[in-house]
Amino acid sequence: MKRLMLWNHRTLPFVTMLITTIVLVSSSMLAQADDTPTKEVTVRELTLQMPESWMKKENTSRFRLAEFDIPVPGTDLENADLILFHFQGAAGKTDANIMRWLSQFDPAGRTSTVKEGKTTDGSYILVDVQGDYKNPVGPPVLGKFEKMENARVISVILNTGDDVYYLKLVGKQDTIKEIVDDFRKSFGGDAETEKDYEFEI
């Protein structure tokens, strides 16, 4: 017993130093993960805080306000796409839009959540859907699409107080998992304060 107590007494400073080192390293890693370098991007009257690696690209449709290529640095994951829309006049009722976005996925294996939250200047509704996605190709009137398996699409109706914008993040589930927090931060969203959306239908 004496030897055990002596051993504990002698090794206590080392154990304390080891624990302190682990805590400091863990805190540093968390800080780095939460400290993604960002840039201010303005599209029309909308200002977003995007990671520096998110790059604006040429629009593939005149109906799109802007498009961005979203990589996940340090991985071999497929890039995601972020698309911004703005419509003059009405763009359809909220519930109808949500149901349409859900219908773009194969019902078999589809999972979804619909949340609403507040930003500094306004509010938003966030529709998060996972499964096999019918990715539109070309003008919507053509009704053409390509199947994207294991996809995740996050659509946001963002009300800035002065206007309404639509944001659509599209990619593979593994990719979106890595960037979803940065996406929320880009428009001022906060997952911790979001509530379940109540359908009017």
Q: Supply the pLDDT for residue 28.
A: 41
The answer to whether the beta carbons of residues 83 and 67 sit under 8 Å apart is yes
Q: Which amino acid is at 170?
A: V
Cα 186 from Cα 48, distance rounded (Å):
5
Instruction: Kindly compute the dihedral angle of the four CA atoms of residues 131, 168, 53, 42, in this order, to the nearest 10 degrees.
Output: -170
Q: Taking the domains of the chain in order of start, what are their residue ranges?
A: 1-35, 38-196
Alpha carbon distance, N-terminus to C-terminus of the chain: 72
The answer to whether the beta carbons of residues 114 and 143 sit under 8 Å apart is no
Q: What angle (nearest 5°) sits at the alpha carbon of residue 92, between those of residues 87 and 93?
A: 130
Cα 47 from Cα 39, distance rounded (Å):
10
Q: Supply the pLDDT for residue 140.
A: 64
Residue found under tokens 């009300």: 159
The answer to whether the beta carbons of residues 58 and 67 sit under 8 Å apart is yes
Residue 55: CB atoms within 10 A of its CB come to 13
Q: Which residues make Cβ contacts (< 8 Å) with residue 78, sequence separation at least 6?
A: 171, 172, 175
> Quick one: CATH architecture of 38-196?
3-Layer(aba) Sandwich (3.40)
Per-residue pLDDT of the chain (201 residues; tens, 9 = 90+): 444 444 455 554 543 444 444 434 344 443 334 578 999 999 999 999 999 999 999 988 888 899 999 999 999 999 999 999 998 765 668 999 999 999 999 999 999 999 999 999 899 999 999 999 998 876 666 778 899 999 999 999 999 988 999 999 999 999 999 999 999 999 999 999 999 999 985
